[in-house]
Structure 1
Amino acid sequence: MRGTPTAQAKALLTKSGILQLGTSKGVAKEWAKNQLREQGQPVTSASISANTGIYGLRTTQQYASVWKQLAVYARENFGLKDIERLAGVHVVSYLDYKAEIGLGRDALNKEMAAINKMEQALNKWAVLHGRNHQYDLKQAVETFREDVARDIPRNDMIRAYPNPSELVSAVPLGTAESLAVRILAESGCRIGEGTHIAASQLRGMATDEHTGKSVGRFSYIGKGGKLNSGNLSPETYSSLEKHIREHGMFESSQEAVRNTIRTAAEATGQEYAGHGAHGLRWNFATARMEELQEHGMSRDEALAQVSREMSHNRAEITEHYLRR
């Protein structure tokens, strides 16, 4: 499909046959139920939804907005210019980004409903254009729902911890998960990037060119395949080097890391729910902004630098992390 993400989303909505404005949704649902019964299929809300279109103007506007945002995200982060090539990896990354900037569970559920309907529209589009291709974006949505959405609060919220230094100090030393917590807190990387580090990713000791302090660096592949690097305190970097020498690489269970953070949060009187491991990334953004500005950077300069360090394509994404 050609055109801008906006044009492609509009074409998919208006030309796939999914849009049924002016048609009775109730009648359509009854028809879908009868069809499912005749085919011996289970009659569930999900199966009915998969066999009905979009009937309301407000729903149309909401879905069109999500489809456009997903198309823009896939183009900017994966170089995907044709939404007919959308796949599960793009969907999971997009939803993770939405959770990352603080969307609550209710808002995320609306996004997921829109993407499920987008799959239906894409399948209709493929049939109309004689293409033998079946999309399976719903599986990606369910993967995200199971792995991430259950830990997110219902409403939008600031996900930074009130006292991250106390939380990290409450994590006992000596385990892989405790080292992972310090890596996440100091580098601002995502949990998947800070719990799996090979020897080839170690970049040695260096001087932070913005603050003059001594740091240890490791590289990692961020979202969209982008190469990035994280800064660690000399102590944490030394522990990481030692662990890799002894074990061949550094690896920690993400679930174990989350449990460790949860225990430390409870021990220091802080809420874990709604903050999770990702809360430390929010804390990093605020602390790094303050640090860079204390060393002479303007706010705009600091924002641009923190955005680069957090692998954000746009500074406005980082702005979400600076809400108080």
Structure 2
Amino acid sequence: MQALLSLIILVALVAVILGLIKPGLVLFFLPPEKRTRLKAFGLYTAVFVLSVFLLPMGEPTPHREEAKQANLDMAQEKEGKPMTAPVELSINYKLRPDFRVEVNVVTNLPDSTEMLLTVEDKDVPAGFIGQDGSAVDKGMVSFQPVGPLPNGNYIASVTVPIPSVQPKAVQVVMGSQGEHLTGELIVDGDFGKTVEQEVSFAVEGSSPSPAIIVEALKKDFKREYVALLNFKDNPDFWQYGFGRGGKYYEWLERVRSLDKQYPSQTAFKAGLLFANLPIMGMEYMRSRGQETPATQSHRKDIEKALQ
């Protein structure tokens, strides 16, 4: 359709020019007495203008759909308004009977803002550290429970990464460089503005029993194992793997954190070594999600240990 309209425009333009020189050539279908320059000019100018007007409507459907989606995306981004109030971020925590800590956040940052929780030992260098990521939903952020925590003093810190790695709708509110972020919680880093807040707490009383630690280990291991099985068949995982900054790097960092969190001897006795999950992931990346002797062996051992 678009090609036909383009051809008509070209023919009409030539006809306009010829009609001013020799109207009989382009008005051959009219009686000789009606073949005037004015009539030739008017007729083919009208055809030219009409075809130009109709040309965009002849655009192929995929292009029209892409343009429609682009306009929709722009409209959605415009719905967000630049932030004017200082950033608020309040951390609430609760220590569970199994000595895992639940952390929730109340904030005025926009929905879908991504955040990272880190729980680490305050007094012991290279001691306990646990992490989880989540996003704002209706002013609230809920993280997965972290732990179990041995006796000691801890810091739970929540970080909002730089705006350039946030969803586009969030960038509209924050500013692409964080120019709309204000308040006491804003930190100017080497790569841009971040938001940081933390709270300290202590774990006292009896330390978690081995049974509690193993139960928590199984829950955390099963969650990351199921996540791996869910994304192993994704083509973008086959292409990009666990590259830094990619979609699956966060999973890798979380697994590494859990590997440090649990005593290696406990994990070995339970038959659930977090270090095996990235190895399986790399194997799935190479096999494009297909099972191999290595992944089958790992899955057999894991599913037996999780029973």
TM over 0.5: no
> Which structure exhibits the higher relative contact order, with contacts defined as CA atoms closer than 8 Å and separated by 6 or more residues?
1
Question: 1 or 2, which has the higher strand percentage?
Answer: 2
Indicate the structure with greater helix content: 1
TM-score normalized with structure 1 length: 0.21
Q: Which has the larger radius of gyration?
A: 2
